[in-house]
Each structure stands twice: as structure tokens, then as C-alpha cells.
Structure 1
Amino acid sequence: MAEITWLGHNCFRLRSREATIVADPYSKRLGYDFGRPRADIVTISRHGDSYGFIEAVKGEPKVILGPGEYEINEVFITGIGSYADMEKGKLRGKNTIYVFELEGMSICHLGTLGHPLTAEHLELMSRIDILMVPVGNQGTITVNQASEIISEIEPHIVIPMHYRVEGLDAELDDISKFSKEMGIQDISPQEKLTVKPSDLPEGTKVIVLDHRNSYK
């Protein structure tokens, strides 16, 4: 059983029997505070306080920054190199996509991906069960590109991230453009996602998480 909680912006906490992971912790300068979650592992998709503020995490976590294959606490993590813009990093630098193998599932965090996936990326991401995708339409992929990536990967569950919510000091669109693109009529955020392989739906389902529960 894996538990996924959205802590706002690009940041998630993933819990399994083996470890707790925090992806892309950010600074309070973004406008709100998700507390100081404890973690065994921290992954950082891109340099900077908006995605790699390690000081926000309690404990002595192992920090992963960049492409490669990692095994920590019996958790397998693959970092896949990419860019945060359409100009091969000339505008915003590099980005790392992470794939976590947790509880018999493959969970992918796209980070601040700023371009369509290549054939090489798709080969490395051939079986993704849960996809965390930026949908704020600013500073990362566009909503149309996000939709295309979802179609290419065909995950069972999509969790949107990196969009404007109350209290966030960032120039992002809200989730409405993405929900329209995906044909979602009713957005009812849930506190967290607790899932095991047998729970995965047929086809692709979008699940919206509520960052306000990150304070709990």
C-alpha cells in the first residue's frame, strides 16, 4: 500500500513500508508553508528553493539530484535527464524526471518538464501506473503537451501538480484549463491517495489532491 499526499506546488510525500520520500520540497517564499515533513529520501527535479529546499525536510534524508539509478531502503528510483524548457535548458536549465518503484507500482514525477517527451524518454517510462504531471501552463509543459504525454504513457492514475492555488505566490494558471482539456466536469479534491496494485483503475483516471491537507 502506497500513500501519496500533495504538499503543494511540485511537492509530494510518498509513503510505503520501506521508506518515506519527499519530492521537490520548496521554500516558504512561495507563499505557504507545508510544515517540515520527515523523510528518508528527498528527490530534487531542478536546482532552486522552489524545488530543492532540503531544509524544509526533517531527519537526515538521502538526497537525490540528477539522472541515474538509485536503491535506498529497498526503494528503486530512476532519474531521467530532461530539460525545463523547449531550448534544451538554455532558458531554465535541466530537469530530472523520477520513477519510483513502490509497493509493486511505478510512480512517475515529471518535475518541471518543459518539453514533449522523446522516444528515449518513453522507452524508459514504458510502464507507469501513477503519473504526477505539471498543469499550470506556465514555466513547464503546456496543458496540450501534458495531455499528449498522458496519452503516450497511458498511466492508470494522473495527479496534476504545479498549478495556482490559494496562497501560492507563483505565476501559474489554475487547474481549469487542464480539467477542460481532459474533459473533467467535476473537480472534488481528496485528502490523499492510498493505493495498491489491485486498486488501479482500468484506463486513465485523474485524481486531484488537496494541498491544504499538507498541514496535517
Structure 2
Amino acid sequence: MLLRCLTLILVALALPAAVTAQDRTPSHCIALADATPGIAHVIPASLPDVAPETVHLHYIAHASFLIRSHGGLNMVTDYTGFTGTLPMIPDVVTMNHAHDSHWTPFPDPAIPHALPGWGAFGEGIDHELDLGEVLIRNVSTDIRSQFSEVEPEGNSIFVFEMAGLCIGHLGHLHHEPTEAQYAALGRIDVLMAPVDGGYTLPLPVMMQVIRRLKSSIVIPMHWFSGYALDAFLLGMSDEFQVVELESANLSVSIDRLPSRPTIMVLNPSYINVAR
């Protein structure tokens, strides 16, 4: 009997620990690795608390967004080194180098994870960063130089899987994704899409990409004028509902996704210390 009890105790000790509140709710993007226990983080008082199974988005500027999790993970897309006057060290930053307004050569060394969207010339880069409640991965895409030369796999589309959602950031996209790239992206629930109409993709091609991805929420970014934004909204209004918000913030959860594909227009705003 004693031997049997000891055996049961050893078996119990060998079992994985129970899941915690910081584990990632599985998304439906594509089949990827299981979640691992999350990490405790200090949450600056000026940043909002995020409800369970919810993602908080803040449109900072240009192509930079703060993506914030319930557990307090702060992730910034197309990071330039500046997010505002609020002191904040993001847990993760992603960058693209098509232009210097999408990256910084000197990310703060205190940032735990600085993810470039490019590798050695023409080789691309692969990221699959699992932080427990969030999985961050990328799909490499080509970019063109100012002289129309092509750098294969010189940028990335980044995908954030969290709270059961797939959140995609198209970065400085220069071509329609290939069939293999569409497949690698999988289902994208919330999509940040550049709609400048020329610096990235011509507007008709970008609209085609957005229609192909069929995201529930599309957030326009990288627009340099109201004219470019209005042209995009007009071109998509027959298929997408358009909601223009007065804020830079949006909270999203899988159970509150709109039943009709919706474009959510956010007003960019740096994250500043409250006055």
C-alpha cells in the first residue's frame, strides 16, 4: 500500500501544472503550439485595465498601435522608438524597415522582445514568440526600394493570437499576398490595413486584399490625408459597415465581433501623461 501511495504522489508531481488566468485562449487562425503559463507584469497606472478575454487597441500614430492584453502585456507595432510622453517599456515591439517611420535602429535595450520584420537580405525572418496569453508570429513579404528594386521577404505581416482572436497588422505591404502567404495568415478577425493608396499598395489592390481576408473588423492606418481615407471608406462602404470613432481606443472580444464586416476608424493619438 505504501509503495502504491508513493507511486501516485510521483505521478501527480510529474503532471503539468494547472492552467492559469494568463494562459492563451486558443484562436482559430491556424493550428499552432499550445499555450504556456504567462508572466506577471507591472502595469503602469495610466494604462487601462483590460477585461478578461478582451484585447485593448490604441492607435498611436502612422502604423503604430498599442495592443494590450488582460494580463498587462503591452505590444507596439511598427515601433519607431516613441509612443508618447507616458513612460512605458513595451514587452514586445515589432518593426518593418521599408521606411524609417516604421522602425528604429536603436530600440530601448530594456524591451524584452524587439522583433524585426526582416533578416539578412533576401532571407526573411521567422518569429513565433509564445508569451502564454499571447502568441506572436509573422509572415514575410517582399518590399520595393525607392528605385523599384525588390528585396525578397524584406518586411513582415505580424499576427497576434490572443483572447481567442487573431489580430493582423499588414505593416508596409507592397504586394498582394501569395496563396501560400494567405494560407499562412489564416483567419484574421481584426486587421490593421494601410490605406494610403500608393506608398504601400494602390487602393484597389488593398481593397482586394481586405475583401479576401474577410476580417470582422478593419482598422485603417497609414493614411496621410482625409482624402485618402475617404476614398477608401467610399470604396468599401458597399460591403462593409463604416463606424467612425472619436477615440484612439477600441476594446475587442470574440463574443462582441460585429455580425457584418465593419471598418472602425480610429483617431491616432500619442500615449501621453494625463494632465
TM-score (norm 2): 0.66
Query: Which secondary structure state, in structure 1, belongs to the residue aligned with residue 233 of structure 2?
Result: helix
- The answer (yes or no) to whether the contact 1:86–1:114 under 8 Å persists in 2 is no
**Cα distance per residue 1:151-199 (max 9 Å; x no partner):** 1110010001111159xxxxxx641211121127774443311011101
- The answer (yes or no) to whether the contact 1:11–1:24 under 8 Å persists in 2 is yes
| In structure 2, C-alpha distance between the alignment counterparts of 1:160 and 1:186, rounded to whole Å | 11
Q: What's 1:6 paired with?
A: 59
Superposed CA RMSD: 2.8
5 Å-filtered alignment, 1:127-142, equals 127-142=187-202
- Residue 110 (structure 1) aligned with residue 170 (structure 2): yes
| In structure 1, C-alpha distance between the alignment counterparts of 2:84 and 2:171, rounded to whole Å | 18
Query: Which secondary structure state, in structure 2, belongs to the residue aligned with residue 131 of structure 1?
Result: strand
Q: What's 1:169 paired with?
A: none
5 Å-filtered alignment, 1:35-74, equals 35=85, 37-46=88-97, 49-53=100-104, 59-66=110-117, 67-74=125-132
| In structure 2, C-alpha distance between the alignment counterparts of 1:14 and 1:44, rounded to whole Å | 14
Letter in 2 for 1:65: P
- The answer (yes or no) to whether the contact 1:85–1:115 under 8 Å persists in 2 is no
| In structure 1, C-alpha distance between the alignment counterparts of 2:270 and 2:127, rounded to whole Å | 32
Letter in 2 for 1:148: Q
Letter in 2 for 1:68: D
- The answer (yes or no) to whether the contact 1:143–1:178 under 8 Å persists in 2 is yes
Q: What's 2:213 paired with?
A: 153
Letter in 2 for 1:62: H
5 Å-filtered alignment, 1:159-178, equals 159-164=219-224, 174-178=228-232
- Residue 215 (structure 1) aligned with residue 272 (structure 2): yes
- The answer (yes or no) to whether the contact 1:24–1:44 under 8 Å persists in 2 is yes
Deviation at 1:124, TM superposition (A): 1.1
- Residue 191 (structure 1) aligned with residue 245 (structure 2): no
TM-score (norm 1): 0.82
| In structure 1, C-alpha distance between the alignment counterparts of 2:199 and 2:65, rounded to whole Å | 19
Structure 1 stretch 53-62 or stretch 138-147: which is displaced more? 53-62
Q: What's 2:8 paired with?
A: none
- The answer (yes or no) to whether the contact 2:60–2:248 under 8 Å persists in 1 is no
Q: What's 2:17 paired with?
A: none
Any stretches of 5+ residues in structure 1 without a counterpart?
A: 167-172
- The answer (yes or no) to whether the contact 2:242–2:262 under 8 Å persists in 1 is no
Letter in 1 for 2:253: K
- Residue 20 (structure 1) aligned with residue 79 (structure 2): no
- The answer (yes or no) to whether the contact 1:46–1:96 under 8 Å persists in 2 is no
- The answer (yes or no) to whether the contact 1:4–1:192 under 8 Å persists in 2 is yes
Identity of aligned residues (%): 25
Equivalent residue in structure 2 for 1:34, among 84, 87, 92: 84
Equivalent residue in structure 2 for 1:78, among 105, 114, 137: 137
Query: Which secondary structure state, in structure 2, belongs to the residue aligned with residue 211 of structure 1?
Result: coil
Count of residue pairs brought into register by the alignment: 205
- The answer (yes or no) to whether the contact 2:95–2:102 under 8 Å persists in 1 is yes
| In structure 2, C-alpha distance between the alignment counterparts of 1:61 and 1:49, rounded to whole Å | 22
Any stretches of 5+ residues in structure 2 without a counterpart?
A: 1-53, 118-124
- The answer (yes or no) to whether the contact 2:242–2:263 under 8 Å persists in 1 is no
Letter in 1 for 2:217: I
